[in-house]
Structure 1
Amino acid sequence: MTAGIDMGTGAGGTRATLDLEELLATRLLVQGNSGSGKSHLLRRLLEQSAGWVQQVIIDPEGDFVTLGDRYGHVAIEGDRTEAELLGIAARVRQHRVSCVLSLEGLDAEDQMRNAAIFLNGMFDADRDFWYPVLVVVDEAQLFAPAAAGEVNDEVRRLSLGAMTNLMCRGRKRGLAGVIATQRLAKLAKNVAAEASNFLMGRTFLDIDMARASDLLGLERRQAEMFRDLPRGNFVALGPALSRKPLKVEIGKVETSARSSSPKLMPLPEANVDAADLILTPDPQELTRPIPRYVQPAPRPSTDILAELSKARDIEPVETREARPKRAELTEEEREQLVQAALEDVLSQGDSAFRPDAELFQEFLVRCRIRRLTGATVALPEFRQRLAIIRSGADEETRGSETWAKALDLSRSVTDDLKAVFLLIANAAITGQPCPSDQAIARAYGTHSARRARRLLSYFEEQGLIVLHQDRVGARIAAFPDLDAETAPGNPDQPEVETRSAAE
């Protein structure tokens, strides 16, 4: 069965028809700047095909809900939970009900998320309900943006994936995408490229005119025609429209949008008391509270960390006084508890690749668990202790004069490099093999062996170490200021082998 949809007037006054059955198989892309008649075109298409095919409209402005008064479209408010949207989408396909998903009043991120959930719910419907549906998406550049914007990346990927499914894989599930956009340059290319039918309206930017002419197979010099198109006129091309570019004037519609283009209106008669009218406040305004918001000054991160490290008294005074007081800890006992908290933090498998600030917060929690009240360790000292532990130096090494010199040398490098520097220094002091690239990378908090080699080159440029090789190509790191050097080590040795050898 074929259905010819009357879209308006073509060249020579002939009727411009659209093959609805062909459209369901080949999809449609509409472009036009604001005010070009793009929404009018979509409304004409929806009105003319309402009796032939089920329709679903993704409407960011709520303009198409007026179709329900004449054609029975169900208006669905988009401000719903994910479960509600998925359930409604499944029932829409099951019962073949035409509807309008109105996203009016939602911010851009919620519009993208809820539209994507609804489209995915239709896409994932049971095979028994894969009836043909005309899915119209107005302002498609909002839901399939060509570049990342201010919205969350996860939401953007979700929305772009739903639009891609609609245009690329929707045909087999009965979903025929009709997308309209103000600017082709802002629409993702993989979404626009799946359309085989085009209706291009008035546009002014060179990049949009160039893309429009490319899609229609026109020469670049013909792109200027899009600037001169009157409102409501489009250039049509595609198997459902015309085999060659055809100028079409869209016909009239029977329903109207809730919002319309602004019209000129006569101003009210001049009022001699106009100044008093706008400058004299209403008596109720004087009693109405005026909300004021004062932006607080940003606090330094050091102050925030210092406050977080303080123990807070959250118990009533009576409860604290009734509790038996703990004996005061000696300095040695306190140091043992701090060291145990540090070891707990570093015992986790991913600790080497987590930021120091995150580890510091977990360390403070571990200290509270051990009832270490008051100031424990500040963030700079925590980083120093972390670097020493990651170096692998034992207690005997840390008590030597050479190690004290190594600590002094480590002050010449930044905090993030101290663990790497002390790791190599420990190997030199104890005569161990030079650490491999993977071991150095782990101490720095990365998996990149290339970055490890760059760190060694940086230390050598600063005059802290001297790198050389033995006869078989093993790497040796010498410390001129410590009068020590590492044993030859294989830079490509896997980390597991390196750590087991050290143990």
Structure 2
Amino acid sequence: MRIDIDLGMTSGQGAGGPATLDLEELLATRLLVQGNSGSGKSHLLRRLLEQSAPHVQQLIVDPEGDFVGLADRFGHVVVDGNRSVSDLECIAARVRQHRVSAVLNLESLDAENQMRAAAVFLNALFDAERDYWFPMLVVVDEAQLFAPAVSGDVAEDARKASLGAMTNLMCRGRKRGLAGVIATQRLAKLAKNVAAEATNFLMGRTFLDIDMARAADLLGLERRQAEVFRELQRGHFVALGPALSRRPLSIRVGSVETQARAGTPLLTPLPGQSTEDARDLILAPVRTEPGRAVAERRVSAPPPPSMNQILEQIVRDRPPEPVEDEASLALSTEEREQACRVIAYDILGDPDASFRPEAVLYQDFVVRCRIKKIGGGPMPLPEFKLHLNVARAGVDPTAVDLSEWSRAIAVARQIPDDLQASFLILAGAALLGDACPSDLEISRRCGHHSAGRARSRISHLEKRDLVVMRTDMSGQRSAVLPDLGWETRPGDSNGPATPQVERDAAE
């Protein structure tokens, strides 16, 4: 069913005919209104709202409180935007459910809170259940405030929320029954992805070249015809779109039944009084008002705690760590070192442990220290890496002379972490009187599968004069450690890697 809205009369060539708008087509194609301040945008929106009020549900996002007068004449519900988020969401849901026309009055809020309130309300309309997707005309006055082309002085989260709600309204609102009608003073201030979704246009008076050029482009006019927007009178617009006219059409907006609370100021005569009377009136002594009684301040309920505050409270209220028993406190530094070495050696007793990440091995080490009740707090990671490298040497700390083995560990402390394990593997073989391990064996114990890595690290050790490699006539090599005065038995450098279980059985 076609419903024509009477906007007024056509003007210019062929003047005198009615200017109509197809309401059903408007619901499917959306409308953009542009005009400088004083061009008659609000008058046009009021005419459109008054004429369509009996036929379709309406919502007006009103930043200045200009449209609250519709409530008395057409039964719109005025919603004060100065409410909580949950209140606005609930009211918006009820508006869609009960199909009641409303005016969202935002005049009591600053620009940033206007954006937040409009975003909450529009998103709630957009997120309504499918059963309530009835046709609804959503009119946003001063749309450049809610969908700015660039960031301004408002908070970034408020701008993004408002821009996202306006984008949903204009880009995806049609399937949900929401038909956006947006009015702006300047197209250059309005986000392009919001303006681009409108296919009906009503362009009023504007003076800036960039705005005239954009308006001409939208209406399909040549650049030289853009001057027409500078000559438009108040209340005159150029219309184009499937709901208005297939060709640019000049119209003059008709009269309205309701009035804005704050209209255009009118000139009134100045009061007739002499200069002396005016001076005495303005410069009279200012009376000092008596001190006001201090108003009793109500104690407001504290806000609910945030998630971070709850977590901090849990940490504060956590029971204290259990006190270490006397046995753990009684361990000397040497005994604690020996116990940690035994634990690291036991961990690497698993053939697959060498290839596990250090973080996993460290967690296993900490758990075993707690089970053994080794006090002193968590071991620093560099100290743990040294214990791990000592354990990679395959020397059982309970079966060797600790004084001799401690000499090798002391030398290892002075070299980089990535060379410690290779040095200690060679030192352990020399201490135990074993053959020099093969490259694959050294690489396996260090947690790698490449013999080249072992050869590279042995080369670095030789450059530091920590190890001297000797090769006999049969091709067997032995490792000499000058700082310790130790030497391994000759061994095959290209031999296979010996699994830990086989080495333990051989011993």
Q: TM-score range by the shorter chain?
A: 0.5 to 0.7
* Shift of residue 227, structure 1, vs aligned partner: 1.0
Cα deviations across residues 52-96 of structure 1 (Å, max 9, x unaligned)?
101110000111010011100111101111111111111101111
Equivalent residue in structure 1 for 2:69, among 61, 66, 69: 66
Q: Indicate yes or no: 2:26 matched with 1:23.
A: yes
Q: Indicate yes or no: 2:121 matched with 1:122.
A: no
* Shift of residue 287, structure 1, vs aligned partner: 4.4
What does 1:444-483 align with in structure 2 at a 5 Å threshold?
none
Runs of 4+ in 1 over 6 A off after TM superposition: 392-396
Structure 2 length-normalised TM: 0.58
The residue that corresponds to 1:195 in the other structure is 198
Equivalent position SS for 1:131:
coil
Equivalent position SS for 1:249:
strand
Distance 1:265 1:433, change over 3 A: farther
Equivalent position SS for 2:216:
helix
Aligned letter for 1:87?
C
The residue that corresponds to 1:6 in the other structure is 6
The residue that corresponds to 1:78 in the other structure is 81
* Shift of residue 431, structure 1, vs aligned partner: 4.6
Equivalent residue in structure 2 for 1:274, among 257, 264, 278: 278
What does 1:344-359 align with in structure 2 at a 5 Å threshold?
none
What does 1:3-152 align with in structure 2 at a 5 Å threshold?
3-11=3-11, 12-152=15-155
The residue that corresponds to 1:420 in the other structure is none
Equivalent position SS for 1:101:
strand
Provide the C-alpha distance between the structure 2 equivalents of 1:208 and 1:51, rounded to a whole number of angstroms: 35
RMSD: 2.8
Cα deviations across residues 315-368 of structure 1 (Å, max 9, x unaligned)?
xxxxxxxxxxxxxxxxxxxxxxxxxxxxxxxxxx9xxxxxxxxxxxxxxxxxxx
Equivalent position SS for 2:69:
helix
Provide the C-alpha distance between the structure 1 equivalents of 2:385 and 2:9, rounded to a whole number of angstroms: 91
Cα deviations across residues 288-325 of structure 1 (Å, max 9, x unaligned)?
68xxxxxxxxxxxxxxxxxxxxxxxxxxxxxxxxxxxx
What does 1:212-361 align with in structure 2 at a 5 Å threshold?
212-271=215-274, 272-283=276-287, 285=288, 287=290
Provide the C-alpha distance between the structure 2 equivalents of 1:23 and 1:185, rounded to a whole number of angstroms: 24
Q: Is the 8 A contact 2:207 2:229 kept in 1?
A: yes
Provide the C-alpha distance between the structure 2 equivalents of 1:141 and 1:241, rounded to a whole number of angstroms: 23
Q: Is the 8 A contact 2:385 2:417 kept in 1?
A: no
Q: Indicate yes or no: 2:152 matched with 1:170.
A: no
Provide the C-alpha distance between the structure 1 equivalents of 2:79 and 2:289, rounded to a whole number of angstroms: 41
Aligned letter for 2:122?
L
Provide the C-alpha distance between the structure 2 equivalents of 1:281 and 1:234, rounded to a whole number of angstroms: 53
Unaligned segments of structure 2, at least 5 residues: 293-358, 360-379, 387-413, 420-452, 454-463, 465-507
Structure 1 length-normalised TM: 0.58
Provide the C-alpha distance between the structure 2 equivalents of 1:260 and 1:269, rounded to a whole number of angstroms: 26
Aligned letter for 1:196?
T
Provide the C-alpha distance between the structure 1 equivalents of 2:102 and 2:163, rounded to a whole number of angstroms: 22
* Shift of residue 207, structure 1, vs aligned partner: 1.2
Cα deviations across residues 464-495 of structure 1 (Å, max 9, x unaligned)?
xxxxxxxx9xxxxxxxxxxx9xxxxxxxxxxx
Unaligned segments of structure 1, at least 5 residues: 290-348, 350-388, 397-428, 435-471, 473-483, 485-503
The residue that corresponds to 1:440 in the other structure is none
Aligned letter for 1:274?
A
* Shift of residue 270, structure 1, vs aligned partner: 2.3
Provide the C-alpha distance between the structure 1 equivalents of 2:285 and 2:113, rounded to a whole number of angstroms: 38
Provide the C-alpha distance between the structure 2 equivalents of 1:124 and 1:24, rounded to a whole number of angstroms: 18
Cα deviations across residues 224-278 of structure 1 (Å, max 9, x unaligned)?
1111111111110000001011111100001000111111111010233111110
The residue that corresponds to 1:180 in the other structure is 183
Provide the C-alpha distance between the structure 2 equivalents of 1:430 and 1:165, rounded to a whole number of angstroms: 63
* Shift of residue 281, structure 1, vs aligned partner: 2.7
Provide the C-alpha distance between the structure 2 equivalents of 1:2 and 1:207, rounded to a whole number of angstroms: 37
Aligned letter for 1:143?
F
* Shift of residue 430, structure 1, vs aligned partner: 4.1
Equivalent position SS for 2:65:
coil
The residue that corresponds to 1:325 in the other structure is none
Provide the C-alpha distance between the structure 2 equivalents of 1:232 and 1:270, rounded to a whole number of angstroms: 39
What does 1:324-403 align with in structure 2 at a 5 Å threshold?
none
The residue that corresponds to 1:455 in the other structure is none
Provide the C-alpha distance between the structure 1 equivalents of 2:163 and 2:182, rounded to a whole number of angstroms: 13
Distance 1:184 1:433, change over 3 A: farther
